[in-house]
Amino acid sequence: MFIESFLLLLALNFLSAGRLNRPEERIIGGYPAEIEAFPWMVSFQINGHHACGGSIYSNDTIITAAHCFFYKGRRLDDRLFVIRAGSTSRKSSGTLVKVDSVILHENFVFELLQNDIAVVRLSERLEFTNQVQPIPLAESNPEPGTMSLVAGWGQIYETEDLVVRPINILVVKLRIQPPNHCIVSYGQSTICAGNSKQSTCRGDSGGSLVIDSQLVGVVSGGGCDSPTLLTSVPFFREWILNTTNSLP
């Protein structure tokens, strides 16, 4: 039991702290928001601690990043995770629902963050309210220069001795950038957004990039003080639809 708890703590620390060029838990240049403005947002949690973000697709299905379910390249047990939906806070209120199963893209490459997308089936259905709503999938990638919104519960301040994470959700406006502005690009399957002053960081992984109330991207990678790399939802739209339709 001690070993299991210790491994769980290590996994949580890894997901929260991230690694170089991994998405990190920080909304840079963000401002406070209420969940009613982003009712599709959920917090994936391990042992009561925020690990990643996600977006409600239907009352029992969440879209997020595939790498959220790995620790040092090793797949974590799906049953370690629960989601908190319908809450501005990552610590209280809303609804907690256990994860039933996670379907990763079959060509996901952990080391490269290629095809970094996953569909998650919940153990029970969500009840839709003003705080809990699905978000439709965008059908085409945005043009460079388009403004977007990203929300999350990520880290907002860090020094050698201190890490500060917000309890309540933050949102940031990000401008879509040409692909070569990000550290890596995988063609139409990824989107680049933000800059050194407005971006995401450790723990915003799996969160949604939204334009015109449609899900356009899933936070995947990038540095804290550099543009954010996102998985393109329009590119993987058919895969998402086929995967959700095939789930029991």
CATH at 175: 2.40.10.10
Catalytic residue among 67, 189, 208, 232: 67
Greater model confidence, 161 or 52: 52
Looking at residue 196, its pLDDT comes to 60
> Does 196 reside within a domain?
yes
Residue 43 annotated in active site: no
> Does 217 reside within a domain?
yes
Closest alpha carbon to 112 in 185, 208, 178: 185
Q: Tell me: pLDDT of 216 over 90.
A: yes
Strands (E), 81-182: 81-85, 95-104, 118-122, 147-152, 157-158, 163-164, 170-177
Looking at residue 156, its pLDDT comes to 47
Residues of the chain with pLDDT > 70, as a percent, come to 78
> Does 242 reside within a domain?
no
| Alpha-carbon distance values, 131 to 38, 47, 77, 84 (Å) | 8, 23, 28, 11
pLDDT tens digits along 93-102: 999 999 999 9
Residue 67 annotated in active site: yes
Residue 116 annotated in active site: yes
Please tell me the distance from the alpha carbon of residue 24 to that of residue 205, in angstroms, as a whole number. 7
DSSP state of 180: G
**Domain tally, the chain:** 1
In which domain, by residue range, is 203 found?
Answer: 147-234
- 8 Å CB contact between 218 and 117: yes
SS3 204: coil
Phi, psi of 240 (to 5 degrees): -60, -50
Q: Tell me: pLDDT of 163 over 50.
A: no
Looking at residue 179, its pLDDT comes to 86
- 8 Å CB contact between 28 and 172: yes
> Does 208 reside within a domain?
yes
- Residue 24: pLDDT band by 50, 70, 90 thresholds? very low
DSSP 31-92: EE--GGGSTTEEEEEETTEEEEEEEEEETTEEEE-GGGGEETTEEPPGGGEEEEES-SBSSS
Joined together, the tokens standing for residue 204 give 């915003």
- 8 Å CB contact between 141 and 148: no
Q: Tell me: pLDDT of 28 over 70.
A: no
Looking at residue 223, its pLDDT comes to 58
Catalytic residue among 189, 199, 205, 232: 205
pLDDT tens digits along 200-214: 655 578 999 999 999
**Average predicted confidence (pLDDT) for the chain:** 83
Q: Tell me: pLDDT of 17 over 50.
A: no
Catalytic residue among 43, 55, 116, 181: 116
- 8 Å CB contact between 207 and 150: yes
> Does 223 reside within a domain?
yes
- Residue 41: pLDDT band by 50, 70, 90 thresholds? very high
> Does 180 reside within a domain?
yes
Residue type, 47: N
> Does 36 reside within a domain?
no
pLDDT tens digits along 100-141: 999 999 999 999 999 999 999 999 999 999 999 999 999 999
Closest alpha carbon to 145 in 192, 85, 189: 192
Please tell me the distance from the alpha carbon of residue 32 to that of residue 229, in angstroms, as a whole number. 23
Q: Tell me: pLDDT of 86 over 50.
A: yes
> Does 193 reside within a domain?
yes
- Residue 162: pLDDT band by 50, 70, 90 thresholds? very low
* Residue that the structure tokens 């002053």 belong to: 197
Looking at residue 202, its pLDDT comes to 56
- Residue 178: pLDDT band by 50, 70, 90 thresholds? very high
